[in-house]
Each structure stands twice: as structure tokens, then as C-alpha cells.
Amino acid sequence: MKSKIKLTVDAVVFGYDSGNISVLLVKRKYEPFKDGWALPGGFVLENEDLEQAVQRELSEETGARINYLEQLYTFGDLGRDPRGRVVSVAYFGLVKPNAFKLTASTDAKKAEWFDIKKLPKLAFDHKKILKIAIERLQGKITYEPIGFELLDKKFPFSDLEKLYTTLLDREIDRRNFKKKITSLKVLDELDEKVSIGRGRPASLFSFNKKRYFQLKKEGIIFEI
């Protein structure tokens, strides 16, 4: 006998753009929760592993292709889905929102970014999933420089600072913050500057991934 338990994956994908953290949601095309907003996701196929399933669903429903994706948690409570017993493996992703264009298709009427402070009502237990994802994001950013996944290849230092103040929801001393990041040597300063409207032009930095993975291997941690 085959199991009646069904398996889905859901993705909580965060983006960051000039002072706002947003999450990728889709409008459902079908019942249950037709026309409701939900996390992108869907049933896992028999011949794909979990991460492939998430990537496929994300690409089908939103057009997104995500580099940073990790498993978040598996939700298996009874009654979390009106269609019966559905267990969902949730993933956590980070992306630069302007890295691709949103294009809904299968299962989704449309895909949109929502500021995490202005969320619509969500289908299923997705509010709970999102809450756990936000906690993970805030926790993680204090000990791993995943913030870089949310920024462009080249960015002024102030972008990084603003990202952290937004994510942690508190002020950061610019000098101390720079000292700490600099001491890690994970940033390369480029010979380039940008000026955004008025004000002194800012040097651009890029993230040195090689150095970061080396640090991680050595077990060195990062703490804001």
C-alpha cells in the first residue's frame, strides 16, 4: 500500500532592496486558497531530490533562480493542509531581487515581492513558516556573512551597513562595524567609486568568496 501522506516543498526567498527586506509570494491559481497569497512551492516529484523540487517550483511559479538556498525546517502537523496529510519541507533562500524578472506560470496567477512588514494574509501555515524563516535570517546574519548574498557584486559600504541595520532592526556604529568587517578581510576594495546623487562618492567593494569559505573551513565565526 502506498502512503497517503503527500510531500511538498516551500520556499521562503528573501530579497533586499534599498532599505527593505521583501519576500517572494505567489497568488494561487487553484483551490484550496484560490487567489490567496502563499509561499512558492508544490509537490515533490518522484524522480527529483528536494532541492531540485524547490528550484523547479520556484522557476515555474516565479521565474526565479536562486543561488543561496538551504533547508529551513519540515512542517508536518496534522491539519496544516485542507487537502489531507501534507508534510512540507521548507527552504530558505536569499537573492538580489533585481537579478531576474518575475514571471508567474504554472499553479500561480502571479508572483510578487512583499515587504516583510506589509504582508498579506497567507495560505496554509505559511505565516508560521515565514516567521521561522525571519528568525533564521536575523540569527544567521549575526554569525555568517550571508548578507552578501543579498547585495550586488559591487556595492558601497553603506549598502552593507544599511542592510544590517534593516535586518537587525537597530542602529549600528559605522566605524565599529567597518572595523569588524575589515578585520575579517572578506571585502576587496575596488578602484572604483559611485556617487548617488549628492554627497561624497563611495568606494565600491566586492565580497571575497574564496576568503570567506576559507574562514568558514577554519571554523572562524563572525559576530556583529
Find which of a second copy, DNA, none residue 203 binds, CB within 5 to 8 Å per kind. DNA
CA distances from 53 to 27, 89, 101 (A): 19, 10, 20
> Is the separation of the CB atoms in 156 and 204 below 8 Å?
yes
What φ, ψ does residue 142 adopt, rounded to 5°?
-80, -15
Nearer to DNA, 136 or 162 (CB): 162
Looking at residue 156, its amino acid is P
* Grid coordinates belonging to 101: 524578472
Contact between 174 and DNA (CB under 7 A)? yes
Q: Supply the minimum distance, in Å, between the C-beta of residue 197 and a second copy.
A: 37
Choose the contact partner of 211 out of a second copy, DNA, none; CB within 5 to 8 A by kind: none
Q: Which of 142, 205, 145 is nearest to 172 (CA)?
A: 142
- Kindly tell me which residue out of 34, 179, 185, 209 binds DNA, with binding defined by CB under 7 A: 179
Which cell is 165 given?
541595520
| Binding mask of the shown chain, residues 196 to 215, with x at each position contacting DNA by CB under 7 A | xxxxxxxx------------
User: Which residues of the chain form contacts with DNA (CB under 7 A)?
Assistant: 156-158, 173-176, 178-180, 193, 195-203, 223
